[in-house]
Structure 1
């Protein structure tokens, strides 16, 4: 699947119930390791709950997925070298690029015949959580729900969070944020006047939702689903 953008064409993966019905759309941003079996599995699981899930390769300017060779299981010993290869791509993926791409992704998602009319949700993991947050802030009338997990959601500063209107869940790794920083983040969300939950998942490390890494925490992944699915059910007309 290819998504037309202003800078080319982004390859993508989509999962949806093949029942001939239309379902609410969810734009899912992967972590920096990109679209791979673990992400496809997560997209299929979410789709099984009645959603059309679109996962774009947001590094498409550098080539199609996979951009780098990934081991079947990403161990802690593998991570530094892999992140080192991806860091130039992350640094080149400016906020301006993110917002241009978000327009293209949402236009494509909502035009699919299997996607129902109405608002959409945006989810993301690690750096993808920051992209999801930027997307939700830029499309307040269209994005009804935002979920981000082990993500640097406050990287753009508190003022950026005040532009959010979606209902939000931020699930933080215990190693990613201090209780003091969490309090500051949540005060910014209070100032935005949005409905939200923002919490540290106990005992987790960065990347805890990813089943193909050493960071994976099964309890953390279950809690992620326990937070994400009710959020989508509340905010999207699933049916």
Structure 2
């Protein structure tokens, strides 16, 4: 499918959140996928990933995940300065604000004539965590989480007992969890913590560990693995076709 793009500034509890919308250039209603980016927000690789998913017949929403902490339209560079700023933003914004952002995205999707009432999430790095977190929302049916960080450690700010690992019991959606075995951000021990929590709570999930480093989906990085990326796109599209359509 051909894809068209538009820009929307959504109203959230913590201010306007710029959101890029990618959708099929066709009439009809399509299931929505909220795509949570890395700490760098909507870079060129993220835009290409969103276009790839939209081309398979989905409306893809890409929000600026740190909209409260940066001017609208901010994209951080894949360099030391960008990494430092993104990690600083990550350490400041509480999960409760991410939750209200997700609700604003869900409300937007459900209000659009070109969207069906089915919603999924996908994300990379912190975005993988936010996709997991969004599975707490009753309107989210499926979440595809690529090398999600900070779930096992509970290191993102939140109220006591409201970290994502503790809230695993409240997940409503079907999950796919994908980790790179050579990813230094989530060790083998960290992966086991997440797996055991999901299993203990009886969550509907698929688990995959691949021989890859962190950011193996990012096509402007030396860690990029094109063959694995293609597998992940296929797996994600299969999940969303089955659950959302």
> What's the counterpart of residue 169 of structure 1?
176
Q: Which has the higher relative contact order, 1 or 2, with Cα contacts under 8 A spaced 6 or more apart?
A: 1
> What's the counterpart of residue 55 of structure 2?
48
| 1:146 has 2:151 as partner | no
Question: Where do 1:38-77 residues align within 5 Å?
Answer: 38-61=45-68, 62-68=70-76, 70=77, 74=78
For residues 187-217 of structure 1, what are the alpha-carbon distances to aligned partners after superposition, in whole Å with 9 as ceiling and x for unaligned? 2111222221122111x11111111222211
Q: Gaps spanning 5+ residues in structure 1: where?
A: none
Deviation, 1:82, is: 2.2
User: So what's the TM-score if we normalise by structure 1?
Assistant: 0.87
Deviation, 1:98, is: 0.9
Match of 2:30 among 23, 27, 33: 23
For residues 119-172 of structure 1, what are the alpha-carbon distances to aligned partners after superposition, in whole Å with 9 as ceiling and x for unaligned? 3101111011111111212x1x31110111111243436432222121110111
User: So what's the TM-score if we normalise by structure 2?
Assistant: 0.85
Deviation, 1:87, is: 2.0
Take 2:228 and 2:30, find their aligned partners in 1: how far apart are those partners? 27
Preserved contact between residue 21 and residue 114 of structure 1 (Cα < 8 Å) = yes
Aligned length: 225
Take 2:171 and 2:208, find their aligned partners in 1: how far apart are those partners? 18
Preserved contact between residue 27 and residue 54 of structure 1 (Cα < 8 Å) = yes
Q: Gaps spanning 5+ residues in structure 2: where?
A: 1-7, 155-162
Residues 33 and 157 of structure 1, relative CA distance in 2, 3 Å threshold: closer
Please list every run of at least 4 consecutive aligned residues from structure 1 whose deviation after the TM superposition is greater than 4 angstroms. Answer: none
> What's the counterpart of residue 226 of structure 1?
234
Take 1:110 and 1:148, find their aligned partners in 2: how far apart are those partners? 22
| 1:192 has 2:188 as partner | no
> What's the counterpart of residue 124 of structure 2?
125
Take 1:211 and 1:183, find their aligned partners in 2: how far apart are those partners? 28
> What's the counterpart of residue 208 of structure 1?
216
Residues 91 and 178 of structure 1, relative CA distance in 2, 3 Å threshold: closer
